[in-house]
Structure 1
Amino acid sequence: MALVDTLSDPAGALQRASQVRVRRGFVDVSEGQVHYREAGVAQDSRLPLVMLHASPGSARMLEPMMRALAPGRRVVATDTLGNGDSSAPQEASGSIAYFADAHLRALDALGLERFDLYGSHTGANIACEIAIAHPQRVRRLVLDGVSLYSPEERADMLEHYAPGVALDQQGSQFKWVFDFVRDVYLFWPWYRRDAQHRRNLGLPGADELHDKTVEVLKAVRTYHIAYRAAIGYDKAPRLPLVRVPTLLACASTDMFMEYFDAVKALMPTATPLITPGQGTRDALLATARHFERFLDTPLPDDETT
């Protein structure tokens, strides 16, 4: 049963989501292998949903939303090259277009020709490029948190936000990565550690901090390549080129809320939505319900096969 039909019974929805098994695998690409997670089963009435994760980390961070949506569809989430368990990118300073092409090659290897597409932060940038370059493959697009940096912000963040990490025999990289992951929740941007830049968010649980830190550590040599591509991605000329039906979402607690109105102005045909986010179980279910309602709205002459 679809989640949208079960939100009147949130305990039941949570139980069903908790029972969803997330499977893992790899597909071959020219760079090596792309790691992916998969949940749910194919439905004749629904296209698969492809999910692209934020930086830093991996698709592991998408597992709660995957489980919430998977009872009604097949959900596939790939680790971006240079992140999680995927191979490193061939380009040491890759562009968003390069990472979009790499994801598409992985989806080709999985036999996914047409799909719905979700992207968060860096994943939203990559999803935009996929939708622009291959609109015939993307039925509906969900963008969850989109920034729109000024040239000055972009230059500052390219200099400070996602540096390469030096490895040493004292293990300083372990402490640096943990502080980096933690401080994103406390400050925006994380390296401006003062009262003016403090976020009123609070830290997630110790398990979530640990898991995200481990995912970044796996790819500590290469995590910054896709991150820097996202920071340097000039969305102002690109967002108006997105022609597929789009849900422009942003959590009320997201640091990118400050850009929401400006992004809306560049995508006047998109459906805007401020969500409660995914920080609690109730918020996750409510946000998933919004996403599912959008994805399940029929399009004219809709074909799902």
Structure 2
Amino acid sequence: MYIDRYVTVNNKKLHFYMMGSGPALILLHPSPSSGETMLPLAKQLSSNYTVLCVDTPGYGKSDALAVVPYELSAYTDFFHEAFKKLGLEKPAIYGSATGAQLAVRYGLEYPDSVSHIFLDNAAHFDDASANEIIEHYFPDLTPRLDGGHLTQIWSIVSQMFQYFPWCFTTKKYALNRPQMPLFVLQMVAMDYLKAGATYDIAYRLAFQHERGRYVQRLKVPTTIFRWENSIITKYVDQLLAFEFKDHVQPFVIKGDAEERNQKMVSFILGVSERLTDYKARNTVMEEVDSIILEYIKPMENPPEIQQNGQHFQEAWQLLLKNNPNVSAEEAQMYLVDWYKT
């Protein structure tokens, strides 16, 4: 069981889920999701760790930073202040994708304030490849009353597991694998909807940071997970082609997704034996207030999920019909709430 909490730094709230006991372990999520997606992993690690699944500022239930960030250090500086306030003197940090780059940057900025870094879905892109990807990877998904952004989002998530990068749909970038189940596509699409128009801020900065030279500079014990059949295996291997000092080590996992998860969890649990317990469960944590949206649901359950994503358009039109004069941003909040419940 987890607790749902905030900590406030400079009038901005950082939200996190917390469970377990033992050394502190921060889980940093991919974009554009939130700490909620880390809860299944947190549950597996909570036997040995006090686990905090943190919402990156501007995602999930965390406030956006006061100023739009132009580099990842804006996030890690905020994290550092929040972690100090929580009594987290030297936590371990696990990060996946965007979270991995945040973990790298945190380790570079605050090497004496982290005990171990676990990098999952961390990669290296050369400048030319990164620039080409960034140019096409982050379309404007600002909510529109005509619902056109919903079609864009469904196209992105449908292509995401068929091509990498998703925006290049040629044979060269094909992953040649079966499409993911509908519930997975829906879950990822909901992450985009929850993040809204600013979904790309940390996402884009992380892509720009995805360079092997930063990992080379780490002075903190670091593990880089490499697993078969990842959609970015090619780019993880480009990272592992760099020369690292002995405290930065790869952990190669063969097998299917279940085996990968089991071996990764077992490894992370083992590291806990040499770390210091977190005992500062102090009173600076704030409880999360429930927010109830007031709107008219057209019917109890939203339209059933469809392979072509048309269910979002149907739900959108029903919401607008029953809630006239709302903005596109408000309609999007209602859409997220309707499918959530």
What range describes the TM-score normalised by the shorter chain of this pair? 0.7 to 0.9
TM-score (norm 2): 0.74
Q: State the Cα RMSD in Å.
A: 2.3
Q: Describe the superposition over 1:213-253 as per-residue Cα deviations: whole angstroms up to 9, x where unpaired.
A: 22221111211010110111262432222111111112212
Q: Percent identity?
A: 23
Is residue 272 from structure 1 mapped to residue 250 from structure 2 by the alignment? yes
TM-score (norm 1): 0.82
Provide the residue aligned with 1:84 in structure 2.
60
8 Å contact kept, 1:250–1:257: yes
Give 1:32-51 correspondences, 5 Å limit.
Answer: 32-40=12-20, 42-43=21-22, 47-51=23-27
Q: Distance in 1 between matches of 2:85 and 2:179?
A: 38
8 Å contact kept, 1:160–1:191: yes
Q: How many residues align?
A: 276
Cα 1:164/1:287, change in 2 over 3 Å: same
Q: Paired residue for 1:29, among 9, 12, 15? A: 9
Q: Paired residue for 1:284, among 236, 261, 280? A: 261
8 Å contact kept, 1:96–1:129: yes
Q: Distance in 2 between matches of 1:276 and 1:23?
A: 34
Cα 1:197/1:235, change in 2 over 3 Å: closer
| Cα offset, 1:199, TM superposition | 1.3
Provide the residue aligned with 2:113 in structure 1.
137
8 Å contact kept, 2:90–2:112: yes
Q: Distance in 2 between matches of 1:28 and 1:75?
A: 19
Aligned AA for 1:260?
A: V
Cα 1:215/1:111, change in 2 over 3 Å: farther
| Cα offset, 1:276, TM superposition | 4.9
Q: Paired residue for 1:154, among 130, 146, 151? A: 130
Q: Distance in 2 between matches of 1:186 and 1:262?
A: 21
Provide the residue aligned with 2:198 in structure 1.
222
Q: Distance in 1 between matches of 2:234 and 2:167?
A: 18
Q: Describe the superposition over 1:155-201 as per-residue Cα deviations: whole angstroms up to 9, x where unpaired.
A: 11221112332321122222322332332111100011223211144
Moved over 6 A (4+): none
Aligned AA for 1:273?
A: F
Name the SS of the counterpart of 1:247 in structure 2.
strand
Name the SS of the counterpart of 1:211 in structure 2.
helix
Is residue 235 from structure 1 mapped to residue 215 from structure 2 by the alignment? no
Structure 1, unmatched stretches of 5+, are: 1-20
| Cα offset, 1:127, TM superposition | 0.4
Q: Describe the superposition over 1:94-153 as per-residue Cα deviations: whole angstroms up to 9, x where unpaired.
A: 311112122223323433222111111111111011111112211111111212111111
